[in-house]
Amino acid sequence: MARPKSRFLRKPVEPFAVTGGLTVDEALARMERISFQGRNLATARRIWEKMLSSDATIFLGTAGALSAGGLRLVIAHLIEHRYIDCLVSTGANLYHDLHETRGRRHFIGSPQIDDAALAAERIDRVYDTLASEDEFAKNDEWIATFALKLERRPYTSREVLYKLGEHLWNETGNPGILTAAYHAKVPIFCPAIADSSIGMGLSQARHRDQTAGMVDVIGDIIESANIVIRKPSTATIVLGGGTPKNFINQASVQAEFYDDRVGGHKYAIQVVTDVPHFGGASGSSLEEAQSWGKLSVESEKVTVQADVTIALPILVSALESTSREAADKRKRPEFDPSGRLLVMNGQPLADNRYQEP
Amino acid sequence: MARPKSRFLRKPVEPFAVTGGLTVDEALARMERISFQGRNLATARRIWEKMLSSDATIFLGTAGALSAGGLRLVIAHLIEHRYIDCLVSTGANLYHDLHETRGRRHFIGSPQIDDAALAAERIDRVYDTLASEDEFAKNDEWIATFALKLERRPYTSREVLYKLGEHLWNETGNPGILTAAYHAKVPIFCPAIADSSIGMGLSQARHRDQTAGMVDVIGDIIESANIVIRKPSTATIVLGGGTPKNFINQASVQAEFYDDRVGGHKYAIQVVTDVPHFGGASGSSLEEAQSWGKLSVESEKVTVQADVTIALPILVSALESTSREAADKRKRPEFDPSGRLLVMNGQPLADNRYQEP
Amino acid sequence: MARPKSRFLRKPVEPFAVTGGLTVDEALARMERISFQGRNLATARRIWEKMLSSDATIFLGTAGALSAGGLRLVIAHLIEHRYIDCLVSTGANLYHDLHETRGRRHFIGSPQIDDAALAAERIDRVYDTLASEDEFAKNDEWIATFALKLERRPYTSREVLYKLGEHLWNETGNPGILTAAYHAKVPIFCPAIADSSIGMGLSQARHRDQTAGMVDVIGDIIESANIVIRKPSTATIVLGGGTPKNFINQASVQAEFYDDRVGGHKYAIQVVTDVPHFGGASGSSLEEAQSWGKLSVESEKVTVQADVTIALPILVSALESTSREAADKRKRPEFDPSGRLLVMNGQPLADNRYQEP
Amino acid sequence: MARPKSRFLRKPVEPFAVTGGLTVDEALARMERISFQGRNLATARRIWEKMLSSDATIFLGTAGALSAGGLRLVIAHLIEHRYIDCLVSTGANLYHDLHETRGRRHFIGSPQIDDAALAAERIDRVYDTLASEDEFAKNDEWIATFALKLERRPYTSREVLYKLGEHLWNETGNPGILTAAYHAKVPIFCPAIADSSIGMGLSQARHRDQTAGMVDVIGDIIESANIVIRKPSTATIVLGGGTPKNFINQASVQAEFYDDRVGGHKYAIQVVTDVPHFGGASGSSLEEAQSWGKLSVESEKVTVQADVTIALPILVSALESTSREAADKRKRPEFDPSGRLLVMNGQPLADNRYQEP
């Protein structure tokens, strides 16, 4: 008699079958039954679908040169159609978004171009992508001019970015991350704003008027944790690691400090190329995050080891085919990020004290 | 007057636009105008199309656990529909193909499973994929039994693998890499056959009969170079690096030693996750390959830094939509790998001396 | 007659010779003539020596879990003995430093430990390193209590970190990064302070007193650029990428905007494990940095692809053998970071306008 | 009363302390108590020491461009002083060793050199290292001439490499891997010899005489497993992954098939830069190896994620300080690799059948 099959050997790998005319959605469905990162990418779609059918507040973190690299309208799409509820971003992604929303472009180059030749022509290189330094300088001035119109008081990055999106929309009417967030009233946090050209623009505002350009990043910490306290069901999608990854986790950890009901994110997707074994936060595993309480020990989670410029177009194209309605109909928080206090579901969140549970 | 645009700033990045129902082909077309590895993956498709519309002999190299990981029918498809002309593979990919062609399966697991528990149940783990060790042991015996039916003389790996595909087809009638290559008469080389379970199976044949299991891997070197000498227009597609990557390049370098017309591969695609800066061959750049003459200095080439389980399903699904006919109609070499000498376009290639140009 | 040797083939690789009792300094000297990252690590030492014999202001950037991982006293040593002039750090490295300076410890663990078990015991894991979450919570409170003693006005991160080092020294008398910087009057910038437990501590101060915890990170941008304007000869040493890497480069780029004499860093070392081809800033090449003017096109530079926990102990042990005196005697800037304005070589630097050249 | 300390928090991280004049041995001892790859490198030394004080047969696997990169005399030292018992190598490492033993050199270059310029001068690049293609061509001829002196019968790679070392010694008297192995009677296996310039040289011998150049790589499989059957206590040290990593593991797995006493390697060190999550063998974890029985579930093991050109000089310099005597005095197998059959401890090992236990 045949030895009974091991409990480990229940679900066979199904070899990917090639057919012409396959949609991205269908291709990803077939990849669920293969192995390694192909399977993980396919699993990420399923977990995102679960986020959308849950009542979780969905945080998206964006690091790496996603906007310069051609993904800004994907992120804008996620915001506009509310596949996500709150964006945490590096400054660079917002800055390169602004650059294009203002009508400028990034250009297709190559990593083999001689950098001294580029420097001589004042062209900046991001791996295989190029942009004009002079146009960047004009962006900085444009940001400084914008900042000088603000009141002379501290603004959280969330508030200043809302105003920036509004101003950009009024001036350009163009799509992009900042303008989509303005329309959809999706809050954007930029905890490392001082490490970006947006921060540089704000510093130039202060150079012109010594009382301008005060950003209250500590207020951002409190606001983001209060989003979690207000509704402890949360999910995190991280593209590329960096400060957004930790900031989203920190919101949960900090919230739990003041509210026992908070128990870490319920769903987690990360698309990273960094690895755990050097100890850095960008590459840290989602299992490790459970030890900290950043993720619930029961969370559904997946790490996809892939470049975001491959993974995100695939993932979002597939989601758009299957989950657009789910994104529309889901139980999602509604924000008003236009004022000094962030309003969530009709009620303001403090930026100077942690909410009562 | 506006300063004239730099020659470097001619072709703008076009942000990827999300739409539902997108085919893989369409998604990849949009990715041509973004950056980083997304662009490179899209470029790989275009270079493969150029290979198909050229008269180049197309080598495919497969390393990594592609068959265990669910890609064996993709590779079989490439062989069957002649997107490629010659396969160079690690033994593992052929062995795990044989395992499934014989009706066994690999199973979906997780990298978090306790390996002591797996060892206790005689289950072997390949990252997130599992298989039965007892079934593997039976494969080895099956290979040994097959090998004992062969004549007692040295066989190139190419010849022995053809016979193996034939035997497998006769016994199972199932699709797979080895059986597809048998049908399509596409030669397969396995230069590191001694570092694989196929080699282990052959060694078990010799254990039973001390005169069995002689593989002439030096003959493989000569045959593969003679393919290039016979027709010096060649292309290389490498999945995962390893011995196949170098063996395909070596064929060109060795051929050039005997034939001045050979000037390196004309087209090159590599999908790898290894990197150049540690000096190893798997991660070495295609630029470096030009210094050796492995690639022509005018070759069209692209490196895609991605897991093959993501890149290959996307790439081949797109190709199947646009290039199936081109693959059928192209000027391709025809082989007969069934005999002691490999026949190319009706003429045998020596395995014991380099051809005259 | 022998064909003359190519200009490319002048300096042979010298195989590393094994001898017992070798000092780190000697080992590194032998590694200068081997290849790949071994050579690069050895080159980093030579470039650091050149920094020390120049008049350059030396910035050090620290990202990754260096303090938790056992390198905080190496960094403290670099500060104390003035191998560097200015530190830019993630908050985590300063927080884990504070944790140990306050007498707490990190512990040796393993990446295989079950994270649910750790979560149950409130133990936080950083890859193979563990710490008590309850002790972390007490640190946060300690930081909050410290912050409540500060005036109710915005502080740059540089000023608040000086005060933190002073307070820590007065309370503990223990060595560490923050206390060494306090003693050596080396300024520390933490541009992403909002993405760290130090930021969380400051937010808890505000929770107790709604007027506390205002950090002026835009002021940090201006101050750091003014350091460069005051003396445009600069050098950068980056460990691990992240926000410090870009912030140090941004200081140079921003300074150049106001001062033509600034032409990018003259020396650059980066020890990273991230790679360029995904487009992110952490892995970006030093060549790419030249296109932006972050580095001078004539700069001496090296990238070492290695974990900092291997590279830094080796590099600094070797430097300590050969360059301690050079560090002492070099033409270095003297700072007083104790006040609202950073004083450099006896003169204050503005935090609200860019200096005149 | 204080809550009792968790069992997880017993052994604190000890911050690395900088002192001048530190020996490599001392530096590595300090690194045992830090984290991440620094700790792993230090642990590798301790595990190697345990191998030396055990009775295990120690296999060393070498992949990557170690010889071209300046490490051939380190490997020769390990052979000569019997830190290891059996070498499994890629052909490239043996070929580049032969190149220098024959008095030729590799040269210090840069990855930025234009490869078309190199191609024009017939210079081959390995990342930052260069060599003359004409000298390589002469090596190939030299190997062919050597091979023509051999009998016209199949040789295992082990036997042919012994003869090659002998011939090289007789002709040059120079140190190196092949000549050290000849003197120390340490067997070398090269399972992928067909994927290397040594294989190319052998193929050129056959081109001159159609009966030359037969390598019996299946015999290598049997011999290597018989080493394990003869004495089932084994250890593995892998530098760089590749075919040597798997071949050493395969020897153990194949041996266990014929001998129940074999239970996987007792000690394992791997120094790799590849990662597990793409499923390839080079990056596969030592935990995964336990599921296959390649390693004993009780084995002592460590993976060091580092470039070998950094890790190996450090590791071997430290070992040489502490363990030279242990290497001399240990219970090690003695081989005679000079004949058709490999002799181990005075008794021949079959190459055509697996030994009785």
Residues B227-268: pLDDT tens digits?
A: 999 999 999 999 999 999 999 999 999 999 999 999 999 999
Residue B3 DSSP SS3: coil
pLDDT at B357: 83
Chain C contact present for A125, CB below 8 A: yes
Whether residue A1 is predicted with pLDDT greater than 50 in this model: the reply is no
What pTM was computed for the model?
A: 0.98
pLDDT at C357: 83
Chain D interface mutation, best of C35, C84, C112, C123, highest count of D Cβ atoms under 10 Å = C35
| A contact chains, 3+ CB pairs < 8 A | B, C, D
Which runs of consecutive H residues, i.e. helices, occur in chain A? 24-31, 36-53, 72-80, 91-101, 115-120, 133-148, 157-172, 177-184, 197-208, 217-230, 242-258, 286-291, 308-329
Residues C172-183: pLDDT tens digits?
A: 999 999 999 999
Chain A contact present for C278, CB below 8 A: yes
CA D219 to chain centre: 19
Whether residue A295 is predicted with pLDDT greater than 90 in this model: the reply is yes
Q: Are D250 and B195 within 8 A, CB to CB?
A: yes
Whether residue D275 is predicted with pLDDT greater than 80 in this model: the reply is yes
Distance CA D103, CA D101 (A): 5
A335-336, strands of its sheet edge to edge: A335-336, A342-344, A347-349
Residue C147 parent element (H or E):
helix C133-148
Chain B interface mutation, best of D118, D141, D258, D291, highest count of B Cβ atoms under 10 Å = D291
Which residues on B lie below 8 Å from A174 (Cβ)? none
Chain C residue nearest residue A199, CA to CA: C218
State the complex-level ipTM: 0.97
Residues A234-276: pLDDT tens digits?
A: 999 999 999 999 999 999 999 999 999 999 999 999 999 999 9
> Which residue in the set D36, D278, D279 is minimally distant from A277, CB to CB?
D36
Catalytically annotated residue among C163, C245, C266, C294: C294
Pairing of strands B188-189, C347-349: unpaired
Which residues on A lie below 8 Å from B106 (Cβ)? 12-13, 35
Whether residue A4 is predicted with pLDDT greater than 70 in this model: the reply is no
Contacts of A120 (CB under 8 A, 6+ apart): none
**Torsion angles phi and psi, residue B144, rounded to 5:** -60, -45
Chain D interface mutation, best of B136, B195, B304, highest count of D Cβ atoms under 10 Å = B195
List C-alpha distances in Å: B300 to B46, B234, B266, B303, C10.
10, 12, 7, 11, 32
How many CA atoms lie within 13 Å of A280's alpha carbon, on the beta-carbon side?
28
Residues D45-69: pLDDT tens digits?
A: 999 999 999 999 999 999 999 999 9
The interaxial angle of helices D133-148 and D157-172, nearest 10 deg, is 110
Chain C residue nearest residue B38, CA to CA: C278
Spatial CA neighbour of A289 closest among A234, A334, A326, A330: A234
Residues B162-181: pLDDT tens digits?
A: 999 999 999 999 999 999 99
How many CA atoms lie within 13 Å of C228's alpha carbon, on the beta-carbon side?
32
Residue C205 DSSP SS3: helix
Please give the structure tokens belonging to residue B283. 């991660």
Which residues partner with A163 through β-bridges?
A: none
Catalytically annotated residue among D245, D266, D294, D301: D294
**Closest Cα in chain C, distance from residue A329 (Å):** 33
Which residues on D lie below 8 Å from A37 (Cβ)? 277-278
**Closest Cα in chain A, distance from residue B323 (Å):** 10
List C-alpha distances in Å: D133 to B253, B292, C185, D122.
11, 8, 56, 5
Pairing of strands C265-272, C86-89: unpaired
Q: Are D274 and D246 within 8 A, CB to CB?
A: no
Contacts of C109 (CB under 8 A, 6+ apart): C125, C128, C129, C130, D8
Residue whose token pair is 């052979």: D79
pLDDT at B1: 42
Spatial CA neighbour of A246 closest among A219, A277, A272: A272
Contacts of D354 (CB under 8 A, 6+ apart): B207, D222, D225, D226, D229, D254, D255, D257, D258, D259
**Closest Cα in chain B, distance from residue D232 (Å):** 18
Distance CA A68, CA C292 (A): 15
Is A32 buried (19+), middle (13-18) or exposed (0-12) by CB count in 10 A?
A: middle
**Closest Cα in chain D, distance from residue A278 (Å):** 6
Spatial CA neighbour of A4 closest among B118, B121, D291: B121
Distance CA D165, CA D101 (A): 10
How many CA atoms lie within 13 Å of D289's alpha carbon, on the beta-carbon side?
35
Percent of all residues in chain D with a pLDDT value above 90, rounded to a whole number: 98
Residues A43-86: pLDDT tens digits?
A: 999 999 999 999 999 999 999 999 999 999 999 999 999 999 99
Burial B72-88 (b: 16+ CB within 10 A, else e): bbbbbbbbbbbbbbbbb
Distance CA B205, CA B182 (A): 22
Catalytically annotated residue among B50, B294, B329, B331: B294
Chain B contact present for C310, CB below 8 A: no
Please give the structure tokens belonging to residue D339. 């004949």
Contacts of D153 (CB under 8 A, 6+ apart): D214
Which residues on B lie below 8 Å from C277 (Cβ)? 36-37, 275, 305
Residue contacts between A and D (CB atoms, under 8 Å): 21
> Which residue in the set A202, A214, A352 is minimally distant from C154, CB to CB?
A214
Residues D191-205: pLDDT tens digits?
A: 999 999 999 999 999
Whether residue C278 is predicted with pLDDT greater than 70 in this model: the reply is yes
pLDDT (average), residues B284-295? 97
Angle ∠(D129,D134,D140) on CA atoms, nearest 5: 100
Is B104 buried (19+), middle (13-18) or exposed (0-12) by CB count in 10 A?
A: middle
Contacts of C36 (CB under 8 A, 6+ apart): B277, B278, B279, D65, D69, D127, D128, D129, D307, D309
Contact B36 C305 (CB under 8 A): no
pLDDT category of residue A3 using cuts at 50, 70 and 90: low
D142 residue type, one letter: W
Chain D contact present for B111, CB below 8 A: yes
Residue C138 falls in the annotated catalytic set: no
pLDDT at B4: 58
Q: Are C103 and C172 within 8 A, CB to CB?
A: yes
Contact A277 D37 (CB under 8 A): yes
Distance CA B227, CA B247 (A): 13
pLDDT (average), residues A292-311? 97
Residues C20-64: pLDDT tens digits?
A: 999 999 999 999 999 999 999 999 999 999 999 999 999 999 999
Contact A37 D275 (CB under 8 A): no
What do you get for the CA distance between the two ends of chain C, in Å?
Answer: 60
Distance CA D307, CA D289 (A): 21
Residue contacts between C and D (CB atoms, under 8 Å): 245
Long-range contacts of D347-353 (CB under 8 A, 24+ apart): D347/D230, D349/D223, D349/D226, D349/D227, D349/D230, D350/D222, D350/D223, D350/D226, D351/D156, D351/D216, D351/D219, D351/D220, D351/D222, D351/D223, D351/D226, D352/B206, D352/B207, D352/B210, D352/D219, D352/D222, D353/B206, D353/B207, D353/B210, D353/D222
Q: Specify the DSSP class assigned to residue B239.
A: E
pLDDT category of residue B349 using cuts at 50, 70 and 90: very high
Distance CA A163, CA A150 (A): 9
pLDDT category of residue A2 using cuts at 50, 70 and 90: low
Angle ∠(A264,A265,A269) on CA atoms, nearest 5: 140
Residues C137-192: pLDDT tens digits?
A: 999 999 999 999 999 999 999 999 999 999 999 999 999 999 999 999 999 999 99
pLDDT at C94: 98
pLDDT category of residue B5 using cuts at 50, 70 and 90: confident
pLDDT category of residue A40 using cuts at 50, 70 and 90: very high
pLDDT (average), residues B122-142? 98
Residue A302 parent element (H or E):
strand A295-305
Spatial CA neighbour of A255 closest among A281, A210, A294: A294
DSSP secondary structure of A161-221: HHHHHHHHHHHH---SHHHHHHHHT--EE-TTTTSSHHHHHHHHHHHHSTT---BBHHHHH
Chain D contact present for A8, CB below 8 A: no
pLDDT category of residue A87 using cuts at 50, 70 and 90: very high
Contact B36 C279 (CB under 8 A): yes
Q: Are A330 and A323 within 8 A, CB to CB?
A: no
Furthest CA-CA distance within chain A: 86
Q: Specify the DSSP class assigned to residue B348.
A: E
Residue contacts between B and C (CB atoms, under 8 Å): 21
Q: Are B263 and B296 within 8 A, CB to CB?
A: yes
Please give the structure tokens belonging to residue B343. 């026949």
Which residues on A lie below 8 Å from D285 (Cβ)? none
Chain D contact present for B299, CB below 8 A: no
**Closest Cα in chain D, distance from residue B27 (Å):** 24
Contact B6 A132 (CB under 8 A): yes
Whether residue D280 is predicted with pLDDT greater than 50 in this model: the reply is yes
pLDDT at A98: 98
